[in-house]
Each structure stands twice: as structure tokens, then as C-alpha cells.
Structure 1
Amino acid sequence: MTADDGFTYDRLSVDDAIALFVDHQSGLISLVQDYPPGEFKNNVLAFADIAKFFGLPTVLTTSFEDGPNGPMVPEIRQTLPDATYIPRPGQINAWDNEDFVRAIERTGRRQLIIAGVVTDVCVAFPALSAVQDGYQVFVVTDASGTFNEAVRNAALARMASAGVQLMNWFSVACELQRDWRNDIEGLGGLLSTHIPGYRNLMTSYSAAKGVKG
């Protein structure tokens, strides 16, 4: 597709993006089978660190946390203590909760970066609803999980066909950063925390920088 076909590359912007964590709850997490548990937890916390690093307005929401779904994973709240927290009394689609939508509207931002559990419901439903309401929606695929890869792929296809943009947490970080020179140590430190191999790059970089200094 070319520009003549109506395509525009709308990049994530630190000035227009908001991070949304939907239903990363202790009970629901047990349903995630399309990623190994350790890898999935790393991906979710990487997204939380990205929201914190770039200072993005952030909304955390849970559904029926007093029931089997359980409370929000504590590490997310610890990483993002100032995030708006919306415990929904029961709505499955977060977009059906007025407090959740108002929290987004109050930021004045139009780019929604969403991750959640499970991908086919807790992510797909509000993502599709937000697109319908005119928002640009970006789903962090590897910080969202569900029953198996077949369910995940069907959910991602459904969202993509509606205009949702699919990304992983690493590409979200890089698109927000735009230029390594903005803060190579800061972003590099974040990446090395969540990508063991990247730690080697940062070690080499720091060593080389020390020699030059």
C-alpha cells in the first residue's frame, strides 16, 4: 500500500499516547498459555517500565477482582504507583465502564497503547470499541496473553482488520524513543533489564565510552 492508497504512517508519540493495562489479574494470568509464564511476566513488566520511562499517562483496570479473576498483579502497581486505577465491578468490556473511558478522555490523548488478559476478550473488546470511537489503537501483542496461539492469532486478525496496529513492547519503546541520542543510557538500561542479550551490548557500549573518556 502506498500513500496514494490512503496509507499514512502514524507514529506513536510521547505527547499523544496513553498506556492501558487491562485485567492483568492474578487469577486471569493463569489462563495465559500462549507464552511461557516467565517470558510473559517479563513482557508485561517491560511495558510497565516503558510507560514509566516515557512518562505516559497510564490507566490500570481490573474486572470483578473480588471474584476468581483476582487482584491486579502487584508488580504493575508497584512500577506505576501514580497510574489511575479503575476496578470495574463486572463489565467484561472495559469500554463499557464510564470511569475507564472518562479517565482516558481526561488525558486528551488519542493514541491508546493497550495490553491485557485475555487477548481475545479483555484486549479485543475495548480495542475495537476505541477504534469505533475514533481513537488510534496500538496493541502490545507480547504483553497480552490468552489460551493458546490459535486463539491469539484469531484475535489479532480480528483487531487488525478493524485498524488496530499490532506491536510488541520493544517496537513500542523504539517508536516512542525516535532517536537513540535522546537517552541511550536510559533506554539501553530499560532494554537490558528485559532482554538479557541486550545487556551485553550496553556493557560493551559502557566500556567503549569509558575508554574514550
Structure 2
Amino acid sequence: MNKFFETLTSDNAVLTMIDHQVGLLVSCRDQDPHLMTENIKGLCSLARTVGLPTITTASLSDGPNGPIMPEIIDILGDKVIEREGEINAWKNAQFKQAVEATGRKKIIMAGIVTDVCLMFPAISAVEEGYDVYAVVDASGTWNKVVADAAIHRMTQAGVKVATWASVLAELMEDWRSEHGMALGGLLAEHTSYRWVYNNFLHASQK
């Protein structure tokens, strides 16, 4: 099947969280910071729920970029690939090898900032035959103009631009699936879908 039409499953994808570091998060102004945090938590939680392999990396965490945001550590654990200087995570041997070790060709990718930490490795991975889903609402950058420019460039290079809720729905596929209700609960926890979900739960208890 053509990779552009093959859907995400819990067996063919890996999640990479790139440089969600507290020093970089301070400058993200293209979306509401509280909403962005919920999107990041939702993306990490869905990966844990369906059992996706996950890879977290940081750049110069002892410097001004700071450590990985604690919300990610709480969900995915404290294993972080520390890069010594590569801006493009794909050019870090340990990070790239970690992706290759999963044996999966679909990469769900988010990064701070969108136009550097997400865009560069996304384009590089596509060049090497990977099918990359750039989750832009679990990423962030300086302003909307910068985010839009990054989205255009990634799209031109063949990166699939996505949101965390669309990734969740694609992985769920069917409400009757093994993780259907759990994933619905994540949407309820991290988005305004909570009203729909809570109404469904209420109605089902009658």
C-alpha cells in the first residue's frame, strides 16, 4: 500500500518528542500555552495508552534551553537522549538509531520550536523514506507567521501535518476497538470533547 494512504496503527508507528524544553517553551506564542500543554500531554498519553514506542530528546539541556518539561517525563519516563549540539535531531546518531531500532517507518513527531526542532528532522526523515506526521498543535514557536511558514515548508517536502486529536482518532479507528473508550477518555481529559464524552457516559448509565 502507498505509504501516503496507509493509516497509523499501534504496530507501525513510533512517537518522537523533540526538545520540549522549559527554556524554549517560554518563547512559544503561536497558540495558548495552556492549550499547548494539554495537547502535549494528550499526545504523550495516547502513545502510552496504545503502547507506542516513544523517544524523547533534548538539546543542551544544561544550558538556556533547560530540561524536558516535567509533564512529558511524568507520562513517558525520564529516559532522554541528550544531544551535545546537533540542531537537527536526525543528525544525532543515538536519536536516529533509536528510531531505526523500532523497525517502524511511520514517525509521529512533535517539537519545540516548530520551525527548527520539528521541521528539520521531519524533512530529513522523509528524505530517507520515513512517513512523518508532524503534530503541530503539540509543537510551538514564536508566532503564527513562523508556524505557518514551517507548515508550508514541511508540506512541500512531503511531511504530513497533523493534530494530536486526529492522530488519536486514526489510531483508535473504531470506538469498539481495544483502546476505544480509553482514548475517548483522553480527548475528554484534554479537550472540550469532555462535554460530549461525559454526556455519553451519563446516557449510557441510564
Aligned letter for 1:56? L
The aligned counterpart of 1:35 is: 31
Whether 1:88 and 2:77 are equivalent positions in the alignment is: no
Counterpart residue type for residue 75 of structure 1: E
AA aligned to 2:24 is: L
Question: Which of these residues, 65, 69, 78, is aligned with residue 65 of structure 2?
Answer: 69
**Corresponding residue for 1:140?**
135
Is residue 80 of structure 2 the alignment partner of residue 103 of structure 1?
no
CA distance in 2, matches of 1:206, 1:44: 25
Separation in 2, partners of 1:209, 1:39: 29
Q: What is the aligned counterpart of 1:164 among 154, 159, 164? A: 159
Report what 1:22 is aligned to: 18
What CA deviation, in whole Å up to 9, does each residue of 1:138-180 have, x standing for no partner? 0001011111111111111001011100110100000011111
The 2-side partners of 1:51 and 1:108 are apart by 17
| Structure 2 letter corresponding to 1:33 | R
**Structure 1 residue ranges (4+ consecutive) displaced by more than 3 angstroms after TM superposition:** none
What letter matches 1:163 in structure 2?
Answer: G
Q: Supply the distance in 1 between the matched residues of 2:180 and 2:48 (Cα, whole angstroms).
A: 16
Q: Give the 3-state SS of the residue equivalent to 1:20 in structure 2.
A: strand
**1:12 offset after TM fit, Å?**
1.2
Q: Which has the larger radius of gyration?
A: 1
Distance 1:98 1:7 in 2: 25
Q: 2:201 aligns with which of 181, 206, 209?
A: 206
Check whether the contact 2:89–2:121 (CA below 8 A) recurs between aligned residues: yes
2:169 equivalent to 1:174: yes
Q: Which residues of structure 2 form unaligned runs of 5+?
A: none
CA distance in 2, matches of 1:133, 1:34: 30
Q: Identity, % of aligned pairs?
A: 45
Q: Which runs of 5+ in 1 are unaligned?
A: 1-5
Q: Please say which of residues 182-191 and 52-61 is displaced more in the overlay.
A: 182-191
Question: Distance in 1 between the 2:196 and 2:149 partners?
Answer: 36
Instruction: Report deviation, 1:7.
Output: 9.1
Taking a change above 3 Å as real, the CA distance of residues 87 and 7 of structure 1, as seen in their structure-2 partners, is closer
Give the conservation status (yes or no) of the 8 Å contact 2:4–2:131. no
The TM-score, its normalising length taken from structure 2, stands at: 0.95
Q: Aligned partner of 2:26: which letter?
A: S
Query: What amino acid is the match of 1:127?
Result: A
Q: Which residue of 1 aligns with 2:52?
A: 56
Match 1:126 to one of 113, 121, 125? 121
TM-score normalised over the length of structure 1: 0.92
Length, aligned pairs only: 204
Partner amino acid, structure 1, of 2:48: K
How far, CA to CA, are the matches of 1:120 and 1:144 in structure 2? 9
Alpha-carbon distance in 2 for matches of 1:187, 1:63: 31
Q: Name the CA distance, whole Å, in 2 between partners of 1:94 and 1:7.
A: 23
